[in-house]
Amino acid sequence: MELKELHYQGFSSRWKSFLIDNIIVGLFLTAVSFINLSFHRDFSVYLISNIIALSYKPLMETFFGATLGKMLINLKVVDYDGNSINAAQAWLRHIFRISQFLLSVFFYYAAFHDPILLDTEGYADFQTEFLDAYAGVGYISNALFFILLAEVLFMNMDPMHRSLHDRIAKTVVVKAE
């Protein structure tokens, strides 16, 4: 068996790919959310668009070993031996974002059925009233922010540049061959 030489990637290159991916997913989600909250206010539209956005990274990493952002920066997600990751590993890498969604979805369900919120005018008013009425979403976002800080610390202290989600999934991000 031939051992692969892995070139582990740290914060800088991973941050660039993260930004690219979040622009791609963010533009989609913002456009759908804006239209939905401005005109329709339909929970199913919220749910489907968020599941699509949430699935982007795990599906791309399962089938291609990288997201579009990682591909543009020439990165790849592999297991500790340098082999392609499986679907379970890809989904585990995104456990914190999935958890945030699962914890928040109940607040959004309530909001989309709240007559006071449904009577607000436009996107901005809905968002403002939503955050006032459902402060728990803010607490969930704050917790995710602190997890993100821990992720960066772990990544910078680890010789293989593994963050918490990499450790959970037993993966590393490397320079693509």
25-59, pLDDT tens digit by residue? 999 999 999 999 999 999 999 999 999 999 999 99
Domain ranges of the chain: 11-175
Q: Are 93 and 77 in contact (CB under 8 A)?
A: yes
Distance from C-alpha of 54 to C-alpha of 71, rounded to nearest angstrom: 18
Chain-centre distance for alpha carbon 119: 31
pLDDT at 1 > cutoff 90: no
Q: Are 132 and 126 in contact (CB under 8 A)?
A: no
* The predicted structure's pLDDT at residue 5: 86
Q: Are 52 and 83 in contact (CB under 8 A)?
A: no
Spatial CB neighbours of 6, under 8 Å, sequence gap ≥ 6: 78, 82, 172, 174
pTM: 0.91
Mean pLDDT, rounded, for 75-100: 96
Distance from C-alpha of 98 to C-alpha of 19, rounded to nearest angstrom: 18
